[in-house]
Chain A
């Protein structure tokens, strides 16, 4: 049934891609293979990338290039798309059964003896769910990575479940997804969608993608877009109604599944995958703060997750065991997180929390031993890699060197936590210029250096990220005994909010954390100006004692940091007193100013 002729590349997007045509069921599919042929395709795992609607295989360029060093990467234009031919007639030519035929034909041609790792986006994922749940493909699929495309059968059951037992929440979920699926109804209209795609919509689509989805312009979409989109409408018409009305009851995945959910997808609700474990027993979840077209906007992260998942399943390890189990592991697994002041207190607890979530951690502290210790312990609790770096955040050149080293050796930082800080207490008139300089150097300039150097790398990469700055409840709570400290922290808070506005367009979030009284050693190392050394020691002891009695653990602040990143929160007061003061600063600032005049019991 299948014949394949190998051609030299006829000038697709990739220079070193080998193209061939696979004939099946009356159509010819354009198949491209990447990867060093000399290394031998047969020896390396085959990763098959299936594109969605209205795309062609070129949607994968960025991801494919990143995977090609390690794997035998295969892509094909789905029938009627790109350079593949369309079935005739179109109606009835795009059923999932026929798409499965195509898939098997391609797999037989590119990897006859070994199961392949399937990766699907959008409609590519919808059809791959069919591949991975029907019996005739059993043994041909080693793993499946799904993004932004549910199984129509699972979707059908999802709707049924919510229709038969409606609760307010379930009805809300139904209506929510119903609204997001507006385009599906549109595509069921005859002729009009085709006219629109071949006419104005097709022309404007690249600009729309750039504006709405922040898809960087480049080699995508290709010139075949109007044609692809017009043909692809039949994907919906041939399958959606039939499957949603009568979903298969046996749609169980026979291969391990990795589900990547972009949290900002305007077409698909995250709730769709609520009970996916029932259908896919070996499921790993990943969450990405991005919109629908992740293969274009987040290629680095996708390539890393796909690579890890493929490798884990090739090695015969149950992939589930290789994934960290901490909170938010779906979101931070494999990401690179840099924490300053990671040698103790909140910084160390934050590094540990990220490590538990499976992130790679760079623990920065001016004390080499404690930075190394944080890195070592991070590895023990789930970080696939962790490094300790010794840097004084006030040292601009050292920070520049660090940024360069991190970028070349570990990669671009996904999450930056500017946490390093020092305490200083004493009245304004007792605070010398030297003291001011010291506090501002660490608390403000340290943050500025971090944001400037690592934020720039994030922005240049253009694949999102997040910056967390540790401010303090003192940032909005004036006090007569903390003028310098509060000023530095207020500056950090404002800096964070300004930066948040600036970087929002690039998918980089900025959060300011305002912990409040937390039991760390900042009190033991705080300077108290205007008193002699003995009195300073006494006050350090006394504040440490008060903070100890308050006993709010830094681990809870770390949890708040991770939550702030996941939810992209702007300002996060953590302890109850920090939250109370935050409320007061907004609604009763006068009362807060009155409190500021009180002498604290030191």
Chain B
């Protein structure tokens, strides 16, 4: 992605930004409707319905919802535990909504952390996520190997007193690549993941394997390479004694020589970023 194709790039980025905005709007709309007694399954369905009504036909993955200590993946052992359960929301409970809709061929993957009522620990976790957003961007711009950035994120979490919960994700990933997805009439999904997106990821994995990079950003050897240009859905996830919080959004990596342009967050007008700005303004 050189500057020669900047126009085309920005058009494409606009598409991704549009779907990310849509997804966050969905998260905020659903979060506003959550009441005590709503189950994770109902919350996931609410997200699905909201996005379907607005034209989403395909998914990178279907919406998830985690309530209470499931936000920190307490006792998660097998991937099936990620799927929404009949856990009911209670006053003071933290929750996470996570969805990855495909809209007009563009993919978003977002995570939204909230809480039903006051929860000082949850507030603290959310506030402490800001340092991770900064750290990731800085080190990606420095073109540090992804595995090292991962380890630095991990160290920061430990210093903050938290457990690294993205380690519980498949392959322990903190991020994965996203790309455009071909629009098809049929959009089947496999274990909650859209087959088109899986296909894209698989082909990336195969090509990447040949060239020494991986579309999954993990603590393992296959992530021992500098950031690959493209779009990465980054999701640092903090856990602290039964409370978890994360954000997930798209980081754009380009081949620009200008450090500012070499990597940037797709959109800075997101709920968690606005929240930090408000907190700073209040302080």
Contact = CB atoms under 8 A, between A and B. Distances in A.
Given A377-B124, A380-B120, A380-B124, A521 B241 contact: no
A348 B121 contact: no
Contacts of A521: 158
Interface in B222-245: 240-241
Interface string B151-184: 0000000111101000000000000000000000
Interface string B130-163: 0000000000000000000000000000111101
Nearest to A370: B159
A381 B161 contact: no
Contacts of A77: none
Nearest to B119: A380
B241 A344 contact: no
A377 B241 CA distance: 11
A352 B158 contact: no
Interface in A303-360: 344, 348, 352, 356
A146 interface: no
B158 A377 contact: no
B160 A381 contact: no
A373 interface: yes
Residue of A374, A377, A555 with most chain B CB atoms under a 10 A cut-off: A377
Residue of B124, B158, B159, B161 with most chain A CB atoms under a 10 A cut-off:
B161
A356 B241 contact: yes
A373 B128 CA distance: 12
A440 B248 CA distance: 46
A380 B160 contact: no
Interface in B193-225: none
Contacts of A555: 241
Contact of A352 (B120, B159, B160, B241): B241
Interface string A545-562: 000000001010000000
A374 B241 CA distance: 13
A553 B164 CA distance: 12
A374 B161 CA distance: 7
A377 B240 contact: yes
Given A352-B241, A356-B241, A381 B121 contact: yes
Contacts, number: 23
Interface string A358-376: 0000000000001001100
B159 A380 contact: no
A166 B142 CA distance: 73
A107 to B, nearest CB: 38
A377 B239 CA distance: 13
Interface residues of A, number: 13
Nearest to A352: B241
A347 to B, nearest CB: 11
Interface string B83-121: 000000000000000000000000000000000000011
A344 B158 contact: yes
Contacts of A373: 159-161
Interface in A8-46: none
B231 to A, nearest CB: 30
Interface in A371-390: 373-374, 377, 380-381
Which of A373, A380, A521 has the most chain B CB within a 10 Å cutoff?
A380
Contacts of B121: 380-381
Contacts of A377: 124, 161, 240
A143 B160 CA distance: 41
A381 B158 contact: no
Nearest to B219: A548
Contacts of B124: 377, 380
Nearest to A373: B161
B50 to A, nearest CB: 33
B241 to A, nearest CB: 6
Contacts of A374: 161
B143 to A, nearest CB: 22
A381 B241 contact: yes
A563 to B, nearest CB: 17
Interface string A154-176: 00000000000000000000000
- A374, A381, A553: residue with the most chain B Cβ atoms closer than 10 Å: A381
A381 B161 CA distance: 12
B200 to A, nearest CB: 31
A373 B240 CA distance: 13
Contacts of A352: 161, 241
A373 B161 CA distance: 8
A370 B159 CA distance: 7
A521 B124 CA distance: 23
Contacts of A380: 120-121, 124
A532 to B, nearest CB: 22
A233 B160 CA distance: 61
A370 B158 CA distance: 10
Contacts of B159: 344, 370, 373
Contacts of B240: 377, 381
B153 to A, nearest CB: 15
A380 B242 CA distance: 13
A294 B184 CA distance: 76
Contacts of A356: 241
Nearest to B163: A553
A370 B156 CA distance: 12
Contacts of A344: 158-159
A370 B240 CA distance: 16
A555 B240 CA distance: 11
A562 to B, nearest CB: 14
A381 B159 CA distance: 17
Nearest to A524: B155
Contacts of A553: 163
A390 B163 CA distance: 24
A348 B241 CA distance: 12
A157 B161 CA distance: 48
A313 to B, nearest CB: 23
Nearest to A521: B158
A521 B164 CA distance: 14
Nearest to B243: A381
B91 to A, nearest CB: 12
Interface string A403-447: 000000000000000000000000000000000000000000000
Nearest to A355: B241
A381 B239 CA distance: 13
Interface in A473-524: 521
A553 B241 CA distance: 12
B46 to A, nearest CB: 30
Contacts of B120: 380
A553 B162 CA distance: 12
Nearest to B124: A380
B249 to A, nearest CB: 26
B69 to A, nearest CB: 13
B190 to A, nearest CB: 29
Contacts of B241: 352, 356, 381, 555
Interface string B238-258: 001100000000000000000
A348 B120 CA distance: 19
A219 to B, nearest CB: 46
Nearest to A356: B241
Interface string B19-41: 00000000000000000000000
Contacts of B161: 348, 352, 373-374, 377
13 contacts: A352-B241, A356-B241, A373-B160, A373-B161, A374-B161, A377-B161, A377-B240, A380-B120, A380-B121, A380-B124, A381-B121, A381-B241, A553-B163
Given A380-B121, A381-B121, 19 more contacts: A344-B158, A344-B159, A352-B161, A352-B241, A356-B241, A370-B159, A373-B159, A373-B160, A373-B161, A374-B161, A377-B124, A377-B161, A377-B240, A380-B120, A381-B240, A381-B241, A521-B158, A553-B163, A555-B241
6 closest Cβ pairs, A-B complex: A377-B161, A380-B121, A380-B120, A373-B161, A380-B124, A381-B121
